[in-house]
Amino acid sequence: MPMLLASFLCGLIFGAGLLISGMTQPDKVLGFLDLFGAWDATLAFVMAGAVAVTAAGFALARRRGIPLLAEKLRWPDRSDIDAPLVTGAILFGIGWGVVGLCPGPALVNLVGLSGPVIVFVIAMAAGMAGYDWLRDALNRRSDSSLHEGRNR
Q: pLDDT tens for residues 12-49?
A: 998 898 888 888 888 888 888 888 888 888 888 988 99
pTM above 0.75, yes or no: no
Please report the DSSP string for 55-87 in residue order.
Answer: HHHHHHHHHH-S-SSSSS----------HHHHH
pLDDT of 35: 87
Alpha carbon distance 81, 89 (integer Å): 11
Q: What is the pLDDT of residues 105-114, one digit of tens each?
A: 888 888 888 8
What are the extents of the domains in the chain? 2-79
* pLDDT score at 147: 60
The C-alpha atoms of residue 101 and residue 106 are separated, in whole angstroms, by: 6
